[in-house]
Structure 1
Amino acid sequence: MEPTPQQIQELRNKFLQKLDQQTPESGGVHPNDLAKIKNGDAWLKRFLMHNDCEMKESLDMLWEAVDWRNKVGANDITESTINRGFLEGGVLFVRGKDKDGKPLLILKVKKHTKSHGDPEGLKKYVIYWFERLERLTKGDQITLFFDMADAGLSNLDMELIKYLIGMFKTNYPYFLNFILVFEMPWVMNAAFKIIKSMLPAKGVERLRVVTKSSLKEYVDADNALKCWGGRDDYEFVFESEQIAPVKSRGEEARKKVTFAENSHDPGGDSRIESKSSDSGYSGTTLGSISPNDFLHFVNDGNTLSGNITLTNVSDGSISFKVTELKESQDKFHKEIRRTRRLLWGKVKTTTPDKFRVRPSTGILTAGASVTISIILQHGYQIPAYSRDKFLVMCLPIESSSMDTQEIAELWKIK
């Protein structure tokens, strides 16, 4: 059932009214999610469609979803925050599309065992793929493909399957096209009945058990792996997500750092909003920053700190520098225009000596990464609406063997 613009606006109003009156259990709503609710219709529309435009059910699901997202940090999960063993193990990956043109999220059951010893890391890994698919499809539906060929009982993880199904039921509305269960061994028939009982009525309607001979009803041969009887000879290798930089208008299509006001959730973790940009003498992207939206500051009992990961994505060596912005945004933009050295930047904090940055400068060879710790100094607090900003810059360099003094000289702005 297609919701009307009036229903979408009603859901938005009801959510914001509820937010004015109470705080989610997690302590707040992530600014990214709040922006999606305030400034767009697409996400709200999905909650309504998922619940056949029933307003109360849609509101309850939206409230629970944003609370869960804030609790698990869904907006801030990136490749750099995931155990590499999961990413490169090939238990979950995306390949091909079904006949409706929906991407296949494939669970290679035989590659998984319950004895991995990191259940929370596994959940984070699942969220990573759901978030990545949200960006890839722009919220369109996907098909969950259980590849059970050659799997045994030791590979069957009911908790993982329950978690995957729960994601579609409560956290990612109107996201599921089909559930395809491929070549299920007979020894798993009993488990399959349990799985089926977990699904809501709509989910059961979308569930299909397929074999090599019947798969063609849902996936064309060109999109089916050879091990499924198709023509795709793909062998899994983890590939990093390619996120295109956001372009802004300007002289010679120059990309610029932009600023947005910070948000703060009453739960205590301060988030520092930042936006990437990259430009330079040749227009080549030199680096990437993670997280790419908001930086969580977490209290470990002694200090309040957050980490960002910088990665050199160029073919040569670069030098980086992280500094507090101590002047107004206007002066900052004048400095950029004067030095013409900004190749990519990231944002947040203006108060001198409020934060300690370690390391603040350094060198990265091609493909290398570094984790930067940003630590709040004792005696300071982050207010509810912080306007603190950081600038991260990088420059291409000819040699990666520069010493500390040479790096300092390089970054002197004259």
Structure 2
Amino acid sequence: MTGPVIYSVSDVSDSQAAALRRRFLEAVEKEEVRDHVHPQDIVRARTDDLWCKRFMAHGDLEIDKAFDFMMDSVKFRHEWQVNELTHDSVVTEFFERGTLSVHGRDRDGAALMIFHSCLHERTHGERFERVKQFLVYWVEKIEREERGQRISLILDMGNAGLSNVDIPFIGFLINLFKLYYPDMLNSIIVFEMPWIMNAAWKIIKQMLPPKSHQLIKFVNKKDIGTVIPPEHTLVRWGGKDPWSYTYRQEDCEMPPSPFLGQQESAGSGDTDTVSADSGSSREQPSPPPGAGGADDGRQGSRGAEEASDQPPEAPVRRRTAGRRATPPPSGTQRAPLSHSSLLHYRSVVDIAGSAAQRRAKDLSDDSGASCDETSDQSLPGGEEMTAEIGDLLKISPGDEIQFATDAVEARRPLMLKNIHRTPVAFKVKITAPEKFRVRPSCGVVAPGRRVTVELRLAPGVAAQQAVCEKFLLVAAPVQPQQVAAGDMDTIWRTLPAEVRLERRLRCAPAPERPLLTLVRGLGQQLESVSQRLARQQALSQQVARHGAATHRWLVLTLFIVAALALCNAYLLYKSSGVCDLTQADIIGTPFTVPGLSSYRR
């Protein structure tokens, strides 16, 4: 029976990729979308044909699904600041432990990303957020190193137990490939999964899209050679490769992105200078020195060989020969973005006002003003609440700033849109500067543009501790020549008090999300069951050990009793004088043993 079709980039035409590119670039022209997309990803969409084709293949050649995947991916990349990730932004302890590593290749030539389950520990709260950042770092790193080629994920379950099962972590890993890194998985190899994890695997399998089920391969030491050649199979897997992970910082550094081609820095200049139609016939950017060449030829010849060995019922998942950066797919179904609003994504400060923002000086003046009780109602369709400062700025999310209690350092974007005909200067004051970090705390918004101010709780400050605090937002119209001529301190000193408008914003903890509460509850229940099973397993092992010891003592006791009985019989035999009789006497002559009745042998 044939499985669902998994498309590859070789199935995507240049015209389909160009259509997706045009639609994406038209979408990011809108300011409300552009603020949530990193400039480098906009450049990549223009210059990287392969990236667009990967989204088309990931969306089953349907442009609507591909577009949704692409938008979700770039928003995720912006939220997690993927383009700015460096080795220093990740906890070094995770690298040293070696939970994740990249080494060797499978029989399809895909690089092997190894997850050592026995080294993983379940974490919660802030540390779990750091673990997820570490995972994003590795996936981004291998995508850059492989230049868009597919990879194979190995789940090494050897020596793993229930204490290593982490459903939230596995769910996040699955979502990375299902939603944000398109067409990247060649296969999922599960090595020596213990029977005790069958229940956990059923939960994990439900998270996987149906198409990916055919990518899963369960192997052990006997048959791992069917998916990984012996020279790339580790010795502990039953192969010939003696490699073992050792942390070296130079091996874990994030390489520069190879997908941007020849362009200016993404953070400077306008991104409207390249035509949306360009790139449909553009070649993939050439690899950095030492990264292309022979490897490209190897990948091409391997693709040609695989095409001839492919069984007729298997879905086609390999790239055409000679296409250097053609990655194999994961063929997934569309799943909704896990974030409910665009405002959950961190955004960049408006490019037109970036010079003024860089000159801006942080202000954190104290203000004891009382809270303004008026606030806007929620808009239909679940949109964010908004408020206005006169006819100068539109504020989102309104008069109440809600901080999530489950974030690493709870943060919230405050979006300011200029609805005035002239530039508007703004600054943010705080009643408790030691509890908050505001970036930028002042600046200028050009007419019709918007700026995102990030409000973040200081390290160690919980959302409940900030409930009674307030922000004071001050805005005033300015002339373009004022912005060009002076810094922010000078601008505010020259502004008369009558043109300044104020809006007070109050802090509040974000309401608990029912789905998140349910997931947490299920996770806690699973952890509780896992702990009980672990205790039961330890108890059964202890009973088995005691049973074996008891058996050994019983055998030894029986042996001692038998030996004593034989010794006693021998002594009785010696003391009876039977040894002095002849054979004839023993056979036919009655005799008497002291203490015993006469009998005839």
Q: Give the TM-score, by structure 2 length.
A: 0.43
Asked if 1:157 is matched to 2:166, the reply is yes
Asked if 1:42 is matched to 2:50, the reply is yes
| Cα shift readout 1:11-38 (whole Å, capped 9, x = no counterpart) | 01111222234634x9421111111111
> Against the structure 1 CA distance between its residues 116 and 234, is the aligned structure 2 distance closer, same or farther, given a 3 Å change threshold?
farther
Shift in Å, 1:244: 7.3
Asked if 1:93 is matched to 2:101, the reply is yes
Asked if 1:12 is matched to 2:21, the reply is yes
* C-alpha contact 1:270 1:382 (8 A) present in aligned 2: no
**Quick one: distance in 1 between partners of 2:28 and 2:265?**
25
**Quick one: distance in 1 between partners of 2:176 and 2:131?**
13
> Against the structure 1 CA distance between its residues 377 and 66, is the aligned structure 2 distance closer, same or farther, given a 3 Å change threshold?
closer
* C-alpha contact 1:263 1:271 (8 A) present in aligned 2: no
* C-alpha contact 1:264 1:271 (8 A) present in aligned 2: no
> Against the structure 1 CA distance between its residues 230 and 300, is the aligned structure 2 distance closer, same or farther, given a 3 Å change threshold?
farther
Q: Which amino acid aligns with 1:90?
A: G
1:269 aligns to what?
348
1:3 aligns to what?
12
* C-alpha contact 1:92 1:107 (8 A) present in aligned 2: yes
1:83 aligns to what?
91
* C-alpha contact 2:177 2:185 (8 A) present in aligned 1: yes
Q: Which amino acid aligns with 2:28?
A: L
1:332 aligns to what?
none
Asked if 1:121 is matched to 2:146, the reply is no
Asked if 1:203 is matched to 2:242, the reply is no
Match of 1:143 among 131, 142, 152: 152
> Against the structure 1 CA distance between its residues 33 and 300, is the aligned structure 2 distance closer, same or farther, given a 3 Å change threshold?
farther
* Partner SS for 1:114: coil
More helix by share: 2
1:174 aligns to what?
183
| Cα shift readout 1:349-395 (whole Å, capped 9, x = no counterpart) | xxxxxxxxxxxxxxxxxxxxxxxxxx99987669889xxxxxxxxxx
| Cα shift readout 1:84-122 (whole Å, capped 9, x = no counterpart) | 011111001111111111111111000011047611001
Match of 2:40 among 32, 44, 61: 32
> Against the structure 1 CA distance between its residues 74 and 242, is the aligned structure 2 distance closer, same or farther, given a 3 Å change threshold?
closer
> Against the structure 1 CA distance between its residues 19 and 377, is the aligned structure 2 distance closer, same or farther, given a 3 Å change threshold?
closer
* C-alpha contact 1:264 1:270 (8 A) present in aligned 2: no
Match of 1:69 among 73, 77, 80: 77
**Quick one: distance in 1 between partners of 2:66 and 2:440?**
43
Match of 2:240 among 222, 231, 234: 231
Q: 5+ residue gaps in structure 2?
A: 1-6, 259-263, 272-342, 352-356, 365-437, 451-601
Q: 5+ residue gaps in structure 1?
A: 248-257, 273-295, 304-374, 386-414
**Quick one: distance in 2 between partners of 1:51 and 1:185?**
34
Task: Kindly name which structure, 1 or 2, has the bigger radius of gyration based on alpha carbons.
Answer: 2
1:307 aligns to what?
none
**Quick one: distance in 2 between partners of 1:187 and 1:20?**
52
Q: Which amino acid aligns with 1:29?
A: V
Shift in Å, 1:245: 8.1
* Partner SS for 1:151: coil
**Quick one: distance in 1 between partners of 2:84 and 2:167?**
27
> Against the structure 1 CA distance between its residues 380 and 105, is the aligned structure 2 distance closer, same or farther, given a 3 Å change threshold?
same
* C-alpha contact 2:113 2:153 (8 A) present in aligned 1: yes
RMSD: 3.6
Shift in Å, 1:238: 2.2
Match of 2:224 among 205, 215, 228: 215
Asked if 1:51 is matched to 2:130, the reply is no
Q: Give the TM-score, by structure 1 length.
A: 0.61
Shift in Å, 1:205: 0.7
| Cα shift readout 1:40-66 (whole Å, capped 9, x = no counterpart) | 211001001112211110001101111
Shift in Å, 1:224: 1.1
Question: 5 Å matches for 1:290-305?
Answer: none
* C-alpha contact 2:86 2:253 (8 A) present in aligned 1: no
Shift in Å, 1:221: 1.1
* Partner SS for 1:106: strand
Question: 5 Å matches for 1:240-251?
Answer: 240=250, 241=252
Q: How many residues align?
A: 282
**Quick one: distance in 2 between partners of 1:226 and 1:67?**
41
